Amino acid sequence: MLLGAVAAYYKYGDRTDIMEKSLKGTKEALDTLLAYLGTELSDSLSPILMRAVESEPSAEAVNRTLKSESFLDAVSDFINGEINEILQYRILSHARSRWAKWARRMRWGVFVLLVQEAIWTFFFAIWVKMMQMPAGQKTVVFAFSLSGINFVFAVVCAGAMLYYHDQITDCREKVL
C-alpha cells in the first residue's frame, strides 16, 4: 500500500506543472473573452457618453447620461447581444476556480494517504514483525478502513477535477 501511496503522491501530490499548464490556457481564454467584452462594451457606450460630454462637459451631464434611458438601453442591448460570451466567461472562470479547489483537495488527500501509509507500514512492518507483537483484528480493520476512505476521497476528487476540466475544455474550444 505504501508503494501505491508513493506513486499516487508522485502523480498527484505536486501538481505545479499540470496546474500551470491548465490554468495558463484557461487564463488566455478568459483574457481573450474579457478583451472582447471590454471592446464591445466600449463601442456600445462610447457614442452616448461622447454626445453627453460634447453637449455639456460637466460631471452633472455625464451623471444624467448614465441614468438616461438611452444609456440603459445601450447597456441592455450590449448584454443581450453578448450574453453567450458573458456566460462563457462566467462558466470558464467558475470551472477554473472549482478545478483548482479540487486539485488542492487531491494534493492534500494524497499527502495524507502517503503519511498514513508510512505510519501503517512502520507499525505493521517494524512494530508487529520485529517486536513480534500481534496486531489485533480491530487494528487491521481500522488501518484498511482509513486507507479505503482516503482512496474513495481521492477518486471523488479525481472525478470532480475531470468534470471541471471538461467544462474548461469545452469553453476554451468555443473561445480560442
Axis-axis angle for helices 137-175, 83-121 (nearest 10): 160
- For the cut 70, the answer to whether the pLDDT of residue 140 exceeds it is yes
Query: How far is Cα 163 from Cα 143, in angstroms, rounded to an integer?
Result: 31
Nearest to 22 by CA among 90, 97, 87: 97
Query: How far is Cα 119 from Cα 53, in angstroms, rounded to an integer?
Result: 72
Q: What is the pLDDT of residue 89?
A: 95
Percent of the chain scored above 70 by pLDDT?
87
The pLDDT of 122-133, averaged and rounded, is 75
**pLDDT class for 120, splitting at 50, 70, 90?**
confident
Q: What is the pLDDT of residue 173?
A: 86
Higher pLDDT: 147 or 18? It is 147
Structural domain containing residue 95:
2-175
Per-residue pLDDT of 54-100, as tens digits, reads 888 788 888 888 999 999 999 999 999 999 999 999 999 999 999 98
**pLDDT class for 136, splitting at 50, 70, 90?**
confident
The pLDDT of 96-120, averaged and rounded, is 89
Mean pLDDT over the full length of the chain:
85
Count H helices, E strands: the chain?
A: 6, 0
Number of domains in the chain: 1
User: Which pTM does this prediction carry?
Assistant: 0.76
- For the cut 80, the answer to whether the pLDDT of residue 116 exceeds it is yes
Q: What is the pLDDT of residue 97?
A: 93
